[in-house]
Structures are given as C-alpha cells and as structure tokens.
Amino acid sequence: MSTPHFDHTTTGDEVVSQFKERVRGLTVLITGVTHTGIGGSTAVTLARGGAKCLILASRSEARAAETIDAVKKANPATSIVFVQLDLADIESIRAAATSIINNSSVQSIDVVINNAGVSLGGETPCLTKDGFEETWQVCHVGHWLLTSLLMPKLLAAASVKGEARVINLSSAGHHFWDGSFDEPTPFTGVAAYGRAKAANVVFSKGLAVKYGAQGIKSYSVNPGWVTTQIMSSWNAEDFASGMKAAAEAGLALRPAPKNLEQGCSTTLVAALDPAIPAPNGAYLDDCQVQTPNTKVEDVTKIDELWDATEKAVGQKFV
C-alpha cells in the first residue's frame, strides 16, 4: 500500500494530497452527489485536487445544486457535466448513459464511482416501477447497468492510460448476507441491504475477472459509519435488527462516526492509489485492504450475480 499510515481518521484531502499527480487531468463520474452525502464530499475533494472533469449524476439538478456550487468554488477550472439519473428507473439509467456516451466533451472516463445508495427499513419490500425491490435496484442493478453502458468510455481511458477504475461503495452490512441473491425471505430491510452490499463486492470481483485484461480495475469499499441520511427511514426495530446482525457477524462497533471528509477517504484511495497491495477486485475499509465476508469470496457467485442481473435488465453486460 502506498499509504500504510492511512486509517479511520484519514480525510479525503489527505488522500488527494498523497496522489495529487494522479488526480490532475482525471475525468470522474460519481453517482449520488448530494452535499450531505459521501458523493458530494468526494466530488468537492477531487475538484480541490485538480480533477479535469466531474460527471455528477443525481435524480435532479436541484439535489446536486449545492455540490455543483461547492465544486465551482473549490476549483473553477474543473469542468462539470450534470446528468439526471434515477437508479430506481431503468429508463432513466439508459437515458443518462446515452447522454454521456453522446457527449463530445467526454471522450473517456477514468473512474466511475458507484456511490449512490438507499437503505429502507421495514418488513415489506418497496418495489420500483420496474418491479425490483428498491434497495436491490438502486444499490446494485442500476449501477451494474450504468457501468455496462459506460464501458466504451472506460475502455477508451484504459487504452490510453493503461487502466480505468470502477469503485463500488459497499458497506460492513455485506456481512449480513446469507449467500443468496434471491430476495430475502422473510423480508427485512436489513437483510435486503446486506444482499445489495454483498452484490457490490461481487460486482467488483467480477469486473476484475472479466475485464482486468483490458485495463479495468475495480474495488469495493466500506466508507464506514458516516453521518449521512441513508438510514433515515429506519425505525427502532430496524436498528435493533441491524445491531443484532452486526453482533452475529462479529462486527466491532466503531469508536465514533466519521464526518463526510473522512467518509470519502477510502473511496479516494481505491480510485487513486497506484499500489494497492492486493489483486484487482479487492475490498477496502478504513483506507486499507481488508478481508470481506467469506461468502463473497466464493468465485461461483460472480457468474451467479452476472446471470441474474443480465436476466433482470434484459441484456448482456456490454
């Protein structure tokens, strides 16, 4: 690792400072960029570091407005491409990808950061207009499809620079996964979140296996316990269920939540560090390579996830 001293307290600015030569000139796409979340902090930090272009994808420009303003203030030289993207709507995902592919100012994409997410509480699945459980579609299916549709831009970057990266934001919640990509039965929001976050880890491993030879590197990351709104719909029963699942998985409680500046640091290490001491497809936590749930290490899960997702969206990956 280029940064053995990075840990729970490291900020995004510290990461960008360490890899400042790698930030300059980058074109990076980030999903979920509200200013109160990790994606917004990631965008502003990259701008401060001198990123060339930030493609900011959000459900509406109003939701991204404060982040866009902050990026402009951080670095007026960083160009901004806003893309409307609703990951709970397959039609919106396809339209967003088409707009990026057809944008002549975006010749290639160096890094895709699949940051957006949702975690819904309760014991009844909430379905999207496409008929998928919402946590599953927003956290996995939508990002899988978006990444597939953007592969020409990623491969274009890899052909010139030798690599392009896809960073998938997972969570310690992937340890809650029971090993099946089927909808949890009985359904709970905690189990649904565990399934989706496990899929993020397996997705990165699959990209590494299937596209590593073409220069695609992919890492999954746990940003940690960060003060965001992702679990705002959880009630007391959901939190109790989550705490029970964490205890059963043997997860230690963090001493304190991270702020947004600390919350984006592991994402940025995965996106920027040229010397991650692990195979392509690794999982990072607190800015270091860590061992994920043994269930996601099962290589047969890669094709299982690929087949299920291709069937769901009605197309092959690329």
pLDDT one-digit tens code per residue, 109-163: 999 999 999 977 778 999 999 999 999 999 999 999 999 999 999 999 999 999 9
Among 12-16, 244-248, 289-293, 299-303, the least confident range: 244-248
Which pLDDT does position 297 carry in this prediction? Answer: 97
Q: What is the DSSP code (8-state) at residue 167?
A: E
Which pLDDT does position 251 carry in this prediction? Answer: 64
Reduced to 3 states (helix: H, G, I; strand: E, B; else coil), residue 240 is: helix
Tokens of 298: 């099962």
Place of tokens 């001198």: 50
Model pTM above 0.95: no
Task: Report whether pLDDT(232) > 60.
Answer: no
Per-residue exposure over 280-305, b if at least 16 CB sit within 10 Å of its own CB, e if not:
bbbbbbbbbbeebbebbeeeebbebb
Paired sense of beta strands 283-285 and 288-290, if any:
antiparallel
Task: Give the span between the Cα atoms of 50 and 221, in whole angstroms.
Answer: 23
To the nearest whole percent, how much of the chain has pLDDT over 90? 85
Q: Going from the N-terminus, what domains does the chain have, and what CATH number goes with each?
A: 12-313 (3.40.50.720)
